[in-house]
A and B are shown apart, each in its own frame.
Chain A
């Protein structure tokens, strides 16, 4: 994997006083993705209150997650953590009978040094349900990185491949000789080592990407995570892995170091340009010549024409909170937008190397300077910059959206990109649908005047 990035691309670092969701929010999409799981967040009222408010309606739908709320006795170690967790997990087993219980460690368990990793195997053995531990806390991580910690923990539970790569090749050759095997299925795909994709996506988006690779006769042998915990893919020496989201650097590291997989460093399949580059990086690894990608990308761009007319020449400011920023900015620059700033909570230059170099290429191609990338941004500095730059669109968290709107700056909530379907050729339209919504709304209200709805005396 090449880590060399052009010198023109620099990453600044600010104070880290920015607004983002707590990484425990990952339970909201992961419990839906992994159907037989149960997430137990071991934390305080503060964590519970966040989940309750952030997840709104989902709370009432009897979700497969809950808080193990720590009380004063737990903090001062008057109560036995192990017994407490055992009691709760037994109740969860009785009520829900999940295939896996995932403990989400929080700031509190970190500070009081509750040994979740130590207790899990013991309890797992005692109650007979796998228990994973993910430390998705606000001391170390931001928002989507929560998923990263869960998937990294899950990677350890993936089964070993049944055969080594060499053996499998032989077996496949043998199978070819076997007339009883359905021939169609075998010739559809190139004969290549197994490929596992990692990153949680809605199942239809996952199958869209599977299909995209199938067109190149590449078979996706599994996803981390799968729809069910019991269907985790096989990982091990000789298995190739590729990420679909920019925030999965820990998972990538775990897959390389612990599971001995080969990582395919690629840009992320967000936007038609990203999707094409992603496939183009995967193909050569398996000695496959990409077929018809250029035309496919071209067709998608054509279908986006109405949206592109709306966004061309408009400027964007990413405040940064979910790590999707670089990929989205790259796509928007390709759409003809001007990006002032890419705020991002954390930048793993190694894991995002291919994405960063695609960003650089895109900027060259579109003849625009590379935007400044600000890691660990400072929201109050950023708001000052927004005031000076007056961008057409600020992509920001919910804490700042209404105040900016009241000051005449159009905004888009960044969280929506986390929950919307934005991957692959098919969903490029959805990204632009989101991006253009404030612009279209603005157009509708243009004639009303009064874009600034705060009193002059109020601070920006």
Chain B
């Protein structure tokens, strides 16, 4: 039992529902009590979805508790089958059904004999996996189900396409900027002259899944969802998989080079044409993406050495950390992720790009870390945005979980070359807000806030004389507390009781020599 106010990743069934509702004509039936169909609200509100979400609940109530679901689940499946004629019905367990331990697989088997739809039972345990892991598993389960079936009936057409082609796996509903990323990836592959075989699950049809092996290779844009499917496809069909997230100029190039390598390896056996994407990378990096130029511009120079904190899912936190450190020369004091299950990969990715690494799903720990580091800007989830608000630190939102304002109507990809522009804007705007604040302070702006006494300064009777107090008030607000604390630390260390302007600057000097060493 633990005390919790907020969580980064939702419960398992949400992941399953996200995958189910992304496919076309797939219906999810939750085995859940009244009120657990909250997913429909999220989808309808956050994504502003125009269609009814294809997820319903087979309600678990007092009667079910007493007598078991008995016919009810089967009836509900068959009813949905008649009403909606879906291709696939996914029976989704919730935390409630995890404890009830009813044989839901048995219901599925029984319903399968009567209904026209295919029916599967999502193999996710509430207490073992979270939303992200469940989504990954469910996607793999659906793909495996359809491919296995084709294999059984030997109807699988394994001939790959004549021209290079790709499956994009892992674009789905309620994903962070997924729709925009998807459009950007389409554009990228069009430019590279690579055909898109399928995009799953978003907008995909389960009946088409049998054609997945026709592609030359798979692209997994996000680490969280799609990797299991890609590994399965690799094992069964030998399909190569590229899982470098095409986010940021450097990783973009890396991803495209991997694509080139893959295409070239396969080309001799299929089409004999070799590809050379280097000129494309060069033109895009230098002229289409503004990010490379931005890094050299005077704007970005001002950001050099500024401290930031990054927190989010593994994909976005790792990519953003690399962009900040490698492409913009910004110092990442701490980078972290709530994807505890993927900690090793994350650590390896950001090795050398961040001073500290934090792996946790406890928002209080993230808050404490931010308060301790006092960065000039934060890049995180909605939670970090609120922490930032409280501490007066600007924050750019780079990862789920998010609010409705992170489902913009306008075109805002994070991936691809346009994505690099968007990220540059996001980063610059976050800091620019801090700069404005700074200028306001420099010119004595409309800042009338009293200097707040923070914990460290109150425990020993240090006295700031009037001059030094005045001097302190002239220091930009966003670094003032830090200066105050450092000065007091210095004073205490040197046995000084009264802080004068001289002490302040001695402290500053001591600190900068310390840093230089």
Q: Measuring CB to CB, which residues of chain A are less than 8 angstroms from any residue of chain B?
A: 16-17, 19-24, 44-46, 48-50, 52-54, 56, 59-60, 63, 66-72, 74-75, 79, 81, 84-85, 87-88, 91-92, 107-108, 110-112, 137-143, 379-380, 383, 397-403, 406, 453-454, 458-459
Contact = CB atoms under 8 A, between A and B. Distances in A.
Contact of A138 (B3, B36, B45, B127): B36
Contacts of A88: 1-3
18 contacts: A20-B34, A21-B35, A23-B35, A46-B11, A48-B6, A49-B7, A49-B14, A49-B38, A60-B389, A67-B4, A69-B4, A71-B127, A92-B3, A107-B60, A107-B95, A138-B32, A403-B49, A454-B51
* Residue among A71, A79, A142, A459 with max Cβ neighbours from chain B (10 Å): A459
Nearest to B46: A53
A59 B5 contact: yes
A143 B35 contact: yes
Contact of A402 (B1, B49, B84, B383): B49
A46 B65 CA distance: 18
Contacts of B84: 459
Contacts of A401: 44
B4 to A, nearest CB: 4
B365 interface: no
* Residue among B35, B84, B127 with max Cβ neighbours from chain A (10 Å): B35
Contact of B44 (A66, A138, A400): A400
A142 B41 CA distance: 16
Interface of B: 1-7, 10-11, 13-14, 32-38, 40-42, 44-45, 48-53, 56-62, 65, 76, 83-84, 94-96, 98-100, 126-127, 130, 383, 386, 389, 403
A139 to B, nearest CB: 5
A399 B83 contact: no
A399 B44 contact: yes
Given A17-B59, A49-B11, A63-B5, 10 more contacts: A22-B38, A46-B126, A50-B38, A54-B38, A68-B1, A75-B99, A139-B34, A139-B60, A403-B53, A406-B51
Given A69-B2, A84-B1, A398-B41, A108 B96 contact: yes
B37 to A, nearest CB: 5
A140 B62 CA distance: 6
Contacts of A72: 127
Nearest to A80: B1
A16 B33 CA distance: 11
Nearest to B50: A406
Contact of B34 (A71, A142, A406): A142
Contacts of B5: 59, 63, 66-67
* Residue among B14, B34, B36 with max Cβ neighbours from chain A (10 Å): B34
Given A49-B14, A139-B60, A402 B50 contact: yes
A86 to B, nearest CB: 10
B42 A48 contact: no
B65 A110 contact: yes
B3 A91 contact: yes
A402 B65 contact: no
Contacts of B41: 19, 53-54, 397-399
Contacts of B37: 19, 399
Contacts of B65: 110-111, 139
Contacts, number: 164
The 6 closest A-B pairs by CB, nearest first: A22-B35, A138-B33, A84-B1, A399-B40, A406-B50, A60-B386
B36 A56 contact: no
Given A17-B57, A108-B99, A400-B44, A81 B1 contact: yes
Task: Summarize B's interface: helix, strand, loop or mixed.
Answer: mixed
B102 to A, nearest CB: 11
A56 B401 CA distance: 12
A60 B62 CA distance: 34
Given A21-B35, A48-B4, A402-B48, A112 B99 contact: yes
A412 to B, nearest CB: 15
A169 to B, nearest CB: 45
B95 A44 contact: yes
A440 to B, nearest CB: 21
B84 to A, nearest CB: 7
A38 to B, nearest CB: 11
Contacts of A48: 4, 6-7
Contacts of A91: 3
Contacts of B42: 53
A380 B59 CA distance: 14
Contacts of A23: 35
Nearest to B57: A17
Contact of B61 (A53, A75, A139): A139
A458 B38 contact: no
A254 B36 CA distance: 28
Contact of A49 (B10, B50, B57, B127): B10
Contact of B33 (A21, A69, A107, A406): A107
A410 to B, nearest CB: 15
B50 A53 contact: no
Given A52-B7, A399-B53, A406-B51, A138 B386 contact: no
B3 A46 contact: no
B188 to A, nearest CB: 28
* Residue among B3, B45, B58 with max Cβ neighbours from chain A (10 Å): B3
Contact of B52 (A53, A81, A403, A453): A403
Contacts of A69: 1-4
Nearest to A460: B52
B34 A79 contact: no
A20 B44 contact: no
B11 A403 contact: no
A459 B49 CA distance: 14
B33 A74 contact: no
B52 A400 contact: yes
Nearest to A68: B1
Nearest to A453: B50
B338 to A, nearest CB: 13
A395 to B, nearest CB: 16
A5 to B, nearest CB: 26
